[in-house]
Structure 1
Amino acid sequence: MIRCLAVDDEAYASEIIATYINKTPFLTLVGSTTSAFEALNLVQEGKVDLVFLDIQMPELTGIQFLKITGGKCKVILTTAYSEYALEGFDLDVVDYLLKPVSYERFYKAALKAQQLLMPAGVTPVQKENVPVANATADFMFIKGDTKNKFIKINYSEILYVEGLKNYVSIYTTTAQRIITYQTLRELEDQLPQPPFYRVHRSYIVSTEHIRVIDGNNITIADQSIPIGETYREDFFKMIKE
C-alpha cells in the first residue's frame, strides 16, 4: 500500500483528494492537512510515500516544499494554474493535476506513482478496515461558473444528472438546478456507486430517489428518465441484487 497525504490550504480541496485516495485500492490515507509545515513534519518522519500537494499555499509554496524534502517522498502537484507545470517537472514530480481534478485523471496519476513506488509484480491489495483520517466524504465540490468558484453539493440532495455536450445539469431535492462545465463521464468518476448509476448516455440517477421503474423508464420526482440499451442489463442486474 502506498501511504498518501493530501495537502492544500483550502480544506475542501484536500477533502476531495482524500476521498479519491480512499477510493483507490492501492493507496491508503495517512491524513489530509491545510498546513504545509504539518505535512513537512510527516514527510521528514518517514510516514508518507506520496504527497498530493497544492502549489500555492501561504506558509510554504509547493515548490519550496519540494526543495526542502529533497526527494524523501514522491509528489503529485495540484493547482488551478497551469503555468507552474514546467517548474514542477523540473523538480521531478510524478504528475501535475489541474483543478478541478476528476477521479479519472487522479487515478492515472496514481498509477504513475504505483509504478515508481511498488515493486514489479506486486498486486494491489484491496483496503479492508484501514484506519484513515477524514473518512470518505458525503459531499462533493463542483466547478462553478467563474474561475476558482466551487459549489458544495451533498450526495443525498442529488436526484439525477443530465449531460449536455460539455456541461452537465445537476437536479437536486431543493429544486435547484446546478450547471457545471465538465463532461458527464468526468462527473460519473466523482460520484460514489452506489447510489449513483449511469443509466443512459445522457443521464446518471440516484437510486435513493427513484420512485418507479416502468419498463425502460425511471421516474424521479416528476421526471421520466430513459434507460439506455447499453446500460440496461447492468442496471437491472443491480436492481435485482
Structure 2
Amino acid sequence: MSNAEQTIRCLAVDDEAYAAEIIAGYINKTPFLELVGATSDPFEALRLVQANQVDLVFLDIQMPELTGIQFLKICGGKCKVVLTTAYPEYALEGFELDVIDYLLKPIPYERFYKSAVKVRQMITPAAAPAPVHLPVTDNGYLFIKGDNKNKFIRVEYNDILYLEGLKNYVSVYTGTQRLITYQSLREFEEQLPKNLFMRIHKSYIVPFSKIRMVDGNAVYIGDNCLPVGETYRSEFFRKIRE
C-alpha cells in the first residue's frame, strides 16, 4: 500500500474531554490520519489498543484512574504513542518507554503535525538517502550524557540529523534513534565544530550536510521542516551562500 493510500488509525485519550476533542480535531484535519475515537476513559482506550484497532494514541499523562505511564506499561508497545501533557518533568520516563514524541499543552497544530509526520515515517518509511560522509573534524564524534551520572553515549557527527532543545533537556535525532540528554543546547553549540553545524533557531542546531533544501525561513532535513529564527537568519544565509 502506498503512503498516499495508507492512513494511521488514531485515538485521543485525555481525562479532560475538551482536550481530547482538540486532538480529535487535529487528527481530522490531517490527511494521513484517521480518527478512531476520542475518550476520557483510559480503560476504553486500552480495550481498543488490545483489539489492534489503533496504530497511534495521543495520550495524556495525568489521569486519575490510570496514568499515561501506567497505560504505556500495560499496553506493551502494541501501538505508537505520543504523550500530551502540561507537565514536562515526565519527558525522560516517557522516552524510556519508547514514546514517539512529547507534546506540551497548549499544543499548536504545527507541533502536532510534526509528531504525526514522525509517526508516518516510522510506520511507512521512505527509502533512506545515501549517507553523506563528512571530512573528520576534531574526533568526528561526541559523547552525550545518559540517564545516570556515569553513562555517556557516543554519537558520530555523520549520524546526527539535528538537535532540538526543549527547556532543560536536548533531543539528539539520528537516522535510527532519538537520544534524550539533560544538557543545554548552548553546550552542544560550543562543542560541535562550527564548519559542520550551526544553530538556526533558539531550539535547533543542524548539520549543513543534512540540509536538503532551504525555502524562505524553513530548513528541510528529510521530511522534517525546521524554522530559521530571526536572531540566526543573517548568519545562516551568509554561510549558505558561501
Q: Which has the higher contact order (CA 8 A, sep 6+)?
A: 1
**If the length of structure 1 is used for normalisation, what is the TM-score?**
0.49
**If the length of structure 2 is used for normalisation, what is the TM-score?**
0.49
